[in-house]
């Protein structure tokens, strides 16, 4: 390989590295002989999407309507999954309150009125 060919391959590699190939891209330079042309292949990789953490605060009351009673609900979540705990007097579409309880955590909901039902909602990536 002549000095001119060597400088050309080196300049291409340096230009690619300076342009950002060190952040997840790979550069492969084919070996060049005195009778062949130097080729460079650039393979770009797409970084994985960031994992969003949209968990609520443990014990956060995310919805409330009519919490005026003296009732209290102590919640012990012994599961690793997070739950939204819905308290309603009957129709789950019209809850008195919804409280967010993280996995392996405790929370208390106060101000519950009357006879009520408790529903649990679980899932991933709360938003």
Q: What is the pLDDT of residue 20?
A: 45
For every residue of the chain, DSSP letters joined together read: --HHHHHHHHHHHHHHIIIIITTT-EEEEPP--TTS---EEEE--PPPPPPP--PPPTT-EEEES---SSEEEEEEE-SSS-EEEEEESS-TTS-SEEEEE-TTEEEEEEEE-SS-EEEEEE-SS--
Please tell me whether residues 26 and 66 are part of one structural domain: no
Number of structural domains in the chain: 2
Within a domain: 38: yes
Within a domain: 48: no
Within a domain: 56: no
Q: What is the pLDDT of residue 125?
A: 72
Please tell me whether residues 27 and 66 are part of one structural domain: no
With 0.75 as the threshold, say if the pTM is over it. Answer: no
Please tell me whether residues 84 and 110 are part of one structural domain: yes
Mean pLDDT in each 10-residue stretch from start to end of the chain (127 residues)?
Answer: 45 41 45 58 74 85 84 93 92 88 95 90 77
Within a domain: 53: no
Please tell me whether residues 112 and 66 are part of one structural domain: yes
Look up the domain containing 89 and give its range.
61-122
């Amino acid at each position: 390989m002549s000095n001119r060919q060597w400088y050309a391959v080196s300049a291409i590699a340096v230009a690619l590295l300076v342009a950002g190939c060190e952040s997840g891209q790979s550069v492969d330079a084919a070996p060049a002989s005195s009778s062949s042309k130097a080729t460079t292949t650039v393979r770009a990789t797409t970084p994985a999407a960031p994992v969003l953490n949209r968990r609520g605060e443990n014990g956060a009351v995310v919805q409330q309507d009519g919490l005026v009673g003296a009732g209290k609900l102590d919640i012990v979540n012994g599961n690793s999954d997070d739950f939204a705990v819905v308290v309603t007097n009957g129709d789950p579409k019209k809850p008195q309150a919804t409280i967010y309880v993280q996995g392996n955590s405790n929370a208390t909901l106060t101000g519950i009125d009357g006879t009520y039902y408790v529903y649990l909602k679980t899932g991933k990536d709360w938003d």
